[in-house]
Chain A
Amino acid sequence: MTARAGVRSLWTIALGIPVAVLVLQAVSIRWLYPQVIPHEFTLHAAGRTLGAAATRTAFFDGTLVSSAVTTVALLLAVPASKGILGLQRRHRVLVALALFLPSLLPPIGLAMGVGVALLNFGADGTFIGLVTAHLVVALPYAVAALTAARARHDTRLEAQAASLGASPTQTLFHVTIPALRSGLAVAATLTFVVSWSQYLLTVLAGTGHVITPTMLLVNAASGGNPAATATMALAVSLPTAVVGIVVPVADRGALLGERAT
Chain B
Amino acid sequence: MTAASLVRRSLRAIRRSPVSTVAPTMAIVGAGAGYALVEGLAAGFGIGAPTDVPIGWDAYRRVLNAPSFWPSAALTVWVGVASTVLAVTGAALVSWWWVTAPGRLRRVDLMLVQVTVSLPHIAWAVALAAVASQSGFIARLATAVGAIDRPAQFPVLVGDHAGLGIIVGLATKEVGFVTLAVLPLATRRVRSALAAASTLGASPAQRFRWVHLPAIAPALAPAAAAVFAYSIGSYELPRTLGTNRPRTLAVAAFDAFRDADLTRRADAFAISTLLAAIALLAAVGAAAPFVARARARMGPT
Contacts and interface: CB of A to CB of B under 8 A. Distances in A.
Contact of B32 (A82, A136, A148, A204): A136
Interface residues of A, number: 94
B39 A116 contact: yes
Given A33-B139, A98-B29, A116-B39, A82 B18 contact: yes
Interface of B: 18-22, 24-26, 28-30, 32-40, 43, 48, 94, 97-98, 100-116, 118-131, 135-137, 139-141, 143-144, 151, 172, 180, 183-188, 222, 225-226, 229-230, 232-236, 239-240, 250, 253-254, 257, 268-269, 272-273, 275-276, 279-280, 283
A136 B36 CA distance: 10
B118 A113 contact: no
B29 A139 contact: yes
B118 A193 contact: yes
Contact of A3 (B101, B183, B272): B101
A224 interface: no
A131 to B, nearest CB: 10
A109 B18 contact: no
Interface of A: 2-4, 6-8, 11-12, 14-15, 17-19, 21-22, 25, 32-36, 76-77, 79-80, 82-87, 95, 98-110, 112-114, 116-117, 120, 132-133, 135-136, 139-140, 143, 148, 190, 193, 196-197, 199-200, 204, 214, 217-218, 221-222, 226, 229-230, 233-234, 236-237, 239-241, 243-245, 247-249, 252, 254-259
Nearest to A5: B101
B143 A105 contact: no
Contacts of A254: 184
B47 to A, nearest CB: 11
Nearest to B143: A34
Nearest to B16: A86
